[in-house]
A and B are shown apart, each in its own frame.
Chain A
Amino acid sequence: MGRSLENKINLEEILPCNTFKTRVPQVEVEKNIKPAPSRYRNEIAKYLIYRDEEKCIMCGTCVKTCTKGVHVLKKGYKLFATSLSYTCNGFVCEKTENFCVAKCPNGALRLIKNPMMEVMGDFRWTSDMILATWRMAETGEILPEDSDFVYETGDSGGGFDRIRIVFPDKPAKVDSDEIDISLELNRRNDGRPKIKIDVPWYGGGMSFGSISNVTQLAKVRAATAWNTFSCTGEGGYMERLRPYDDHMITQVATGLFGVREETIQRVPIVEFKYAQGAKPGLGGHLLGTKNTPAVAKMREAVQGIPLFSPFPFHSVYSIEDHMKHIDWIKHINPRALISTKVSTPTDVDMVAVGSYYAGTHIIHIDGGYGGTGAAPDIAKKNIAMPIDYAIPKVHNFLSAEGVRDAVVLIASGGIRNYYDIAKAICLGADGVVVGTAELVALCCLRCSRCESGKGCPRGIATTNPELASQVTIEWGTQRIINLYNAWSIGLKDILRRLELKTIKELRGRTDLLIHLDISKKQN
């Protein structure tokens, strides 16, 4: 593993002299896992502990009983501080010795499920899953066994939520430390660099404009720490991302905003975005309210006006145009790997194989589950093929064509946690791209109000400086680093339980999956 870029290729030789001159020193980000608690003193909790102040005799029994540090009695204070309810395990405790409500000598404590759980989130991102992701981003660990969060699946009644991994009963023999989950991104043997990322995922493209400056930086810094990638999205390449060039993907999208020769040359991977699974047939769309002076400058457009990207590349109407397009980028940046991001129409398999022949290194299929609030509802849930259908379709087609091992298949569109990652890989992908999960790590509520632009209550998908100031780079970076760590622990654990040593072995192992609807029928 390790950092694979600078050591292997002499950039001075490959990059044009002028580009090399403008290259800035690259920054390393340490992969330390340390707690990064919520930005809010009173994090939204699954359970609420109420204390009847009149009954409480301040005996401190609850503080001693609770192993989660819910009750806080600071020295020198006469009253309890507000309980840290979000760390409470809830009714799981009832059966244990650590149930504070039972232990309270005066019956002053009361435990209820937070009614907010009923209204938060949605069927795909349930409140449990959101809160569990927050916890992972806080601690860097997967959730302890005694917690009752259901976060492997959501409640959507389809897709990954109806698919389960079947683990063998017998105890596993593989040591988690030996498990390799790294992923090679160039399988073409075309003389371009072999790039290996330490985890089988990288960050999806979200433009400056759709998310704040700080959010973008936190994403790429975490990617740097984990030796993987983050993507510019289509809003241009922020100057502040330049110390992380080696971990950036420049997106060439249909609007071509901020795409310049320089921004193509400075990165190891260039991604063509033909379509998004969340809104196939529609171009990128930045709402007028989000088009602030800073964004307009970045995109060199007029502020305050919705910015549309065309739905196709007007220069690409066919596969040989696509090849020409790829050759263009390969010409501008002789070391770049090319990723082709497409949504999932019914002939996505044909598109994928055509892309392969056109010279792409990575085929990135974006299914219909993804998308933040900015994608129109009518498009978000109704157009693209679900990713769990698309992955095997493409995987099998590429295999039948005999080119499967010459190209990397990346899936995205609703990958929410490490279970989804494992399932996507079982279905035939090599790796995944994550988007929304990173935002959730930064305390996103999934309120689906991204399109309101300046109004993101959590200061993530906003360009309003005041709102964005809620997030700091250090904290944001740490949260995403932590989430990645929890995922890699979780993913390795899945492999261990499946008695596999590398993530490669998992690819295409549909035999390890069951689909609840189908198995029901068989029974």
Chain B
Amino acid sequence: MNSYNIKNILKSKRNLNKTLQLPDKSSAMEAEGGCGVVGFCCTEPVPGKHIHEPSRLMHNRGNGKGGGIAAVGFIPEQLGVSREVLDDYYMLHIAYLDPSARPDVEKIYVDPVFDIKKSTKLDTVDDWKSVPGLEVKPPDVYRYFVRVKDSALSKFISENTFANLDRRDVEDEFINQNSFKLNHEFYVSAKKQTAFVMSQGRNIMILKVVGYAEAVTQYYKIDDLCAHVWIAHQRYPTRGRVWHPGGAHPFTAMNMALVHNGDFANYHSVTEYLKQRNIYPQFITDTEVSAQMFDLLSRIYKYPVEYIIEAFAPTTELDFDRLPNEKQEIYRAIQSTHMHGSPDGPWFFIIARNLIENRKFQLLGITDTAMLRPQVFAFVDGEVQVGIIGSEKQAIDATLESLAKDDKRICPIADKYWNARGGSYSDGGAFMFDIIPDNKGKYRLECKDKFGTPVVITEKTESCDFRKEIPDTKNKEQIEKIINEYAVAGKYIFEFIRDNIPQWSFDDIRIACRATRDIGKDDKYTSYAIDTLTLLNDRQYSTGTKRRSHILQIIRTELNSLFINIPRLRPENDELSEYRLIDFEARSELRGPKDKEKTLVVNSKNFPPEGNECDAMFLVRAYKLGWKNFILFHCAGQRYVGCGFGPETHDLTIDIYGSSGDYLGSGIDGMTITVHGNAQDQLGQIIKQGKLVIHGDVGQTFLYGAKGGSIFVKGNAAGRPMINSVGRPRIVINGTSLDFLGESFMAGDPHNKGGFVILNGMKFNEEGQVVPLPEPYPGSNLFSLASGGAAFIRDPKRQLISEQLNGCIFSPFTEKDWELILPYLTENEKLFGIKLDDLLTVNGKKLNPMKVYRKVSPSIEGTPSTPEQDVYGEEEEVDELAEEVLE
């Protein structure tokens, strides 16, 4: 937009502020923590009930004192209006905290200024107390479909010299100012807060309550209301007594809804920035000012989304240097203009927008430059496409499961899961999902990063039809026969199935997995079947033209079905079995293992995520009774698995299937934990000894304060892995990390019982082959301020530069170093099938390891201590020292 018009709009806001006599002094922000957030969009309009499962899973990220939802892109018939009205009219939602305020509000802010096409009170359940999780009665909400009256608009134009502006832009501004005035009169300056605008914009709705998010759809009876884009938010306000949802998320601005996870350290500075542009907060939360800021940049300044993102999450450090020159120039200008308005502190946003001019609905996720809040993206491709952004992966899993239950065309496993690298030159730390209409009344989904680069999902597009039962195929008999023969002969079947998957049909694969499951029903072959299906689940291999996610879905379905059919643990079991199944409902029947019983299989499904009844606590009790081997399946983000067992647990193994939770294995001392999938945040903190194997990616602050252990990760680690690690932790990461890898690493001398990390910087391509990432480590801080240990990085092309090392140096990678890491790479090959030869092969040629790996070590001179494995022995020595002191 040209500067004349911008100035005019901002000037009109100033006049408005003058009439409202807004104070100059900022009020303090309401303290607030992080939250649980999920947003999803779908090419088909989907009903509101799908936010229930993810919302329920995020209860422990909110405290039930603020929940909200937003939806964009409705079906006109469901709202009782025509397509034209839905597209052209503003959908205004006004919340009446006190129903008696409505005539007053309408008399001033609705009736005289709007042409009203339709106005309805949102239907609710009769008794709000019957909705679980609601703390106070939600407000009455009225929905008005309106356009600004011609006369009112013309008056507004002439008063503010808006003649040069597009009439629709003026109308947007009118709505904005009208809502602002309404809020001011009935909310901000009122003695008793009685009404405020919940949402303004076209084809968009926001509703919020004092309670959990899913209570919104239940109370307002919109479980069946369909929309293309949904956001659910669980809030955690720290002040206890909240009597209305004014401060809850999402926050509204023209045609958009914004939710936020985290909080700003510079709320004051951001409000000042906005005040200079005559924009004042009304609800005094950092989320509100974020929405105002976004609105300013997009609607008034008309910045392209890339520049908006840059203004929020500036590109810094090495990432800035790596931008093309022309981008640096623009970004520098953006940063110098908008730095004061850029939120500082941990945050991420999920934004739902109705982009009217471009005729699309958008779901946008922005990660902060420091990457302090976890944010996960997922894309499900196919006939029906789904894009999801969440604060944690289990919320994404739960959403997909819920969607898939209703529509079998949607696979509950996404084709791609990924994180954004905040403020980076590679993806800009933001991704947007656009729902775009085609000519045939259908929609398609596109995903792009900040720079507009499309995200490559998958080239494998053959889908499995999960709607039909497994049919008989011509191969059926033969497949079943071979599997049986192999099992009886005790021969390994995994390779046979793996090698056949490319040419088999989906049905054949289903038959093979089903047959494997069926032989597993015989106790003799249970572990054989579990091992086979687990390998199929964990390993990467070619899938021909078939979607990998669909194959995984087949495998996991059979695996879960195998687990659920394992004989249940009873006080007295007649038949002998190595495996016993137990679930939440039967938890009181737990007893110690008898006869040949070896492994306790726990169905985690209904266990709460934390507290005395959680599955992690249940395992500790079972261990006390003598169980040493555990399989957990149907996990849904339950936390602390592996914690609380105490010292010396070398005899213990835990295998986890499903969505594992935060703090997994934090504190273990000896046991082996295997995660058959992606893992979450805060994994393996303070781990002392033992083995942690992750067949996927791991989340934030992985191995914070670790003291030891052998840890293997098939994929990537998010931000800040291994910070403040001491002792002798030894880690292999086959992918890479977002940033801050090994910050303040202090783990002694790697050649003298100290710790180290091996970073391979590899990924699997769609054919299941190991290939190098574009660069082994994209972040600006590698091993910064480390005082001990070493990082061994596969970097044959010498892409790492010393600017990435803050306080560390490249030192020669020697024969001795190779001898040190070789056993770990060999174990890595055994666990993940990542061949040593593949790691040493560069451009088709196998090289000497010295040419492939590089070593990063601390630059500070210190004398590494030599921690012994036996900590008691070691501390005995400390004691002797004290003894000397005492003599």
- Name A residues whose Cβ lies closer than 8 Å to a Cβ of B: 15-20, 22, 212-214, 238-240, 254-257, 259-262, 264-265, 293-294, 296-305, 307-310, 314-315, 317-324, 327-328, 331-334, 347, 350-351, 353-354, 357, 401-403, 465, 468-469, 472-473
Which residues from chain A contact B724 at a C-beta distance below 8 Å? 254-257, 309-310
* A240 B882 Cβ-Cβ under 8 A: yes
Complex CA–CA separation, A474 to B862 (angstroms): 36
Given A324-B662, A331-B616: A301 and B746 interface contact (C-beta under 8 Å): yes
Chain A residue at smallest Cβ distance from B785: A308
B520 at the interface (CB under 8 A from A): no
* B787 A297 Cβ-Cβ under 8 A: no
* A239 B34 Cβ-Cβ under 8 A: no
* A310 B862 Cβ-Cβ under 8 A: no
Which residues from chain B contact A318 at a C-beta distance below 8 Å? 33-35, 236, 262-263, 346, 373
Chain A residue at smallest Cβ distance from B723: A314
* A22 B647 Cβ-Cβ under 8 A: yes
Complex CA–CA separation, A310 to B720 (angstroms): 12
* B611 A327 Cβ-Cβ under 8 A: yes
Complex CA–CA separation, A212 to B885 (angstroms): 9
Which residues from chain A contact B865 at a C-beta distance below 8 Å? 293, 296-297, 300-303
Least Cβ–Cβ distance between B232 and chain A, in angstroms:
15
Chain B residue at smallest Cβ distance from A255: B724
B863 at the interface (CB under 8 A from A): yes
Convert B76-93 into 0s and 1s, putting 1 for each residue whose CB lies closer than 8 angstroms to a CB of A: 000000000000000000
Which residues from chain B contact A331 at a C-beta distance below 8 Å? 610, 614, 616-617, 639-640, 643-644
Complex CA–CA separation, A383 to B246 (angstroms): 34
Complex CA–CA separation, A468 to B887 (angstroms): 11
Convert B766-796 into 0s and 1s, putting 1 for each residue whose CB lies closer than 8 angstroms to a CB of A: 0000000000000000000101100000000
Complex CA–CA separation, A302 to B244 (angstroms): 54
* B31 A294 Cβ-Cβ under 8 A: no
Which residues from chain B contact A350 at a C-beta distance below 8 Å? 31, 238-239
Least Cβ–Cβ distance between A439 and chain B, in angstroms:
17
* A303 B878 Cβ-Cβ under 8 A: no
* B34 A213 Cβ-Cβ under 8 A: no
Which residues from chain B contact A309 at a C-beta distance below 8 Å? 724
* A213 B882 Cβ-Cβ under 8 A: yes
Least Cβ–Cβ distance between B279 and chain A, in angstroms:
24
Complex CA–CA separation, A318 to B374 (angstroms): 12
Which residues from chain B contact A214 at a C-beta distance below 8 Å? 882, 885-886
* A401 B864 Cβ-Cβ under 8 A: no
Complex CA–CA separation, A212 to B372 (angstroms): 37
B686 at the interface (CB under 8 A from A): yes
* B886 A473 Cβ-Cβ under 8 A: yes
Which residues from chain A contact B747 at a C-beta distance below 8 Å? 300-301
Complex CA–CA separation, A401 to B882 (angstroms): 48
Given A19-B646, A240-B882, A320-B61: A328 and B875 interface contact (C-beta under 8 Å): no
B230 at the interface (CB under 8 A from A): no
Chain A residue at smallest Cβ distance from B872: A239
Least Cβ–Cβ distance between A117 and chain B, in angstroms:
32
Which residues from chain A contact B881 at a C-beta distance below 8 Å? 213, 294, 465
Chain B residue at smallest Cβ distance from A474: B886
B241 at the interface (CB under 8 A from A): yes
Number of interface residues of B (CB under 8 A): 92
Which residues from chain B contact A301 at a C-beta distance below 8 Å? 726, 746-748, 787-788, 865
Complex CA–CA separation, A305 to B748 (angstroms): 11
Least Cβ–Cβ distance between B652 and chain A, in angstroms:
10
* A18 B645 Cβ-Cβ under 8 A: yes
* B707 A300 Cβ-Cβ under 8 A: yes
Complex CA–CA separation, A331 to B617 (angstroms): 7
Among candidates B63, B624, B886, residue contacting A16 with C-beta atoms closer than 8 Å: B624
Complex CA–CA separation, A17 to B649 (angstroms): 10
Least Cβ–Cβ distance between B503 and chain A, in angstroms:
47
Which residues from chain B contact A22 at a C-beta distance below 8 Å? 646-647
* Tally of A-B Cβ pairs under 8 angstroms: 245
Convert B705-720 into 0s and 1s, putting 1 for each residue whose CB lies closer than 8 angstroms to a CB of A: 1010000000000001
Given A16-B645, A320-B62: A261 and B667 interface contact (C-beta under 8 Å): yes
Given A302-B748, A354-B33: A261 and B686 interface contact (C-beta under 8 Å): yes
Convert B848-874 into 0s and 1s, putting 1 for each residue whose CB lies closer than 8 angstroms to a CB of A: 000000000010111111010000101
Which residues from chain B contact A297 at a C-beta distance below 8 Å? 865, 867, 874-875, 877-878
B701 at the interface (CB under 8 A from A): yes
* B669 A328 Cβ-Cβ under 8 A: no
Which residues from chain A contact B28 at a C-beta distance below 8 Å? 347
Given A260-B686, A264-B667, A320-B33: A298 and B878 interface contact (C-beta under 8 Å): yes
Complex CA–CA separation, A402 to B644 (angstroms): 33
Closest 9 CB pairs of A and B: A256-B705, A319-B33, A318-B34, A354-B238, A19-B646, A318-B33, A16-B646, A18-B646, A350-B31
* A302 B746 Cβ-Cβ under 8 A: yes
Least Cβ–Cβ distance between B642 and chain A, in angstroms:
10
Least Cβ–Cβ distance between B773 and chain A, in angstroms:
24
Least Cβ–Cβ distance between A521 and chain B, in angstroms:
26
B111 at the interface (CB under 8 A from A): no
* A305 B616 Cβ-Cβ under 8 A: no
Chain A residue at smallest Cβ distance from B787: A305
B10 at the interface (CB under 8 A from A): no
Complex CA–CA separation, A472 to B682 (angstroms): 42
B294 at the interface (CB under 8 A from A): no
Among A15, A17, A332, residue most surrounded by chain B Cβ atoms (within 10 Å): A332
B379 at the interface (CB under 8 A from A): no
Complex CA–CA separation, A465 to B863 (angstroms): 19
Which residues from chain A contact B885 at a C-beta distance below 8 Å? 212-214, 465, 468-469
Least Cβ–Cβ distance between B275 and chain A, in angstroms:
21
* B688 A261 Cβ-Cβ under 8 A: yes
Chain B residue at smallest Cβ distance from A403: B240
* A353 B240 Cβ-Cβ under 8 A: yes
Which residues from chain B contact A16 at a C-beta distance below 8 Å? 620, 623-624, 644-646
Among candidates B612, B620, B669, B785, residue contacting A262 with C-beta atoms closer than 8 Å: B669
B666 at the interface (CB under 8 A from A): yes
Least Cβ–Cβ distance between A372 and chain B, in angstroms:
20
Q: Apart from A297-B865, A319-B33, A324-B682, what are 5 other A-B pairs with CB-CB below 8 Å?
A: A15-B646, A16-B644, A317-B262, A324-B60, A357-B63
Complex CA–CA separation, A289 to B245 (angstroms): 55
* A240 B646 Cβ-Cβ under 8 A: no
B700 at the interface (CB under 8 A from A): yes
Given A301-B748, A317-B262, A327-B640: A261 and B645 interface contact (C-beta under 8 Å): yes
- Complex A-B: 13 CB contacts under 8 Å: A22-B646, A214-B885, A238-B879, A239-B872, A261-B688, A298-B875, A301-B726, A302-B748, A302-B865, A303-B862, A304-B863, A331-B610, A350-B31
Among candidates B346, B623, B647, B862, residue contacting A305 with C-beta atoms closer than 8 Å: B862
* B875 A239 Cβ-Cβ under 8 A: yes
Chain A residue at smallest Cβ distance from B874: A297
* B647 A261 Cβ-Cβ under 8 A: yes
Least Cβ–Cβ distance between A259 and chain B, in angstroms:
5
* B240 A402 Cβ-Cβ under 8 A: yes
* B688 A260 Cβ-Cβ under 8 A: yes
Given A301-B746, A469-B887: A332 and B34 interface contact (C-beta under 8 Å): no
* B35 A320 Cβ-Cβ under 8 A: yes
Least Cβ–Cβ distance between B242 and chain A, in angstroms:
11
Which residues from chain B contact A265 at a C-beta distance below 8 Å? 644, 646
Complex CA–CA separation, A402 to B262 (angstroms): 26
Which residues from chain A contact B647 at a C-beta distance below 8 Å? 18-19, 22, 260-262
Which residues from chain B contact A240 at a C-beta distance below 8 Å? 879, 882
Among candidates B236, B685, B707, B886, residue contacting A319 with C-beta atoms closer than 8 Å: B236
Least Cβ–Cβ distance between B868 and chain A, in angstroms:
9
Complex CA–CA separation, A303 to B644 (angstroms): 31
Which residues from chain B contact A317 at a C-beta distance below 8 Å? 34, 262, 345-346, 372-373
Least Cβ–Cβ distance between B583 and chain A, in angstroms:
20
Least Cβ–Cβ distance between B793 and chain A, in angstroms:
21
Complex CA–CA separation, A15 to B624 (angstroms): 10
Among candidates B610, B624, B861, B863, residue contacting A17 with C-beta atoms closer than 8 Å: B624
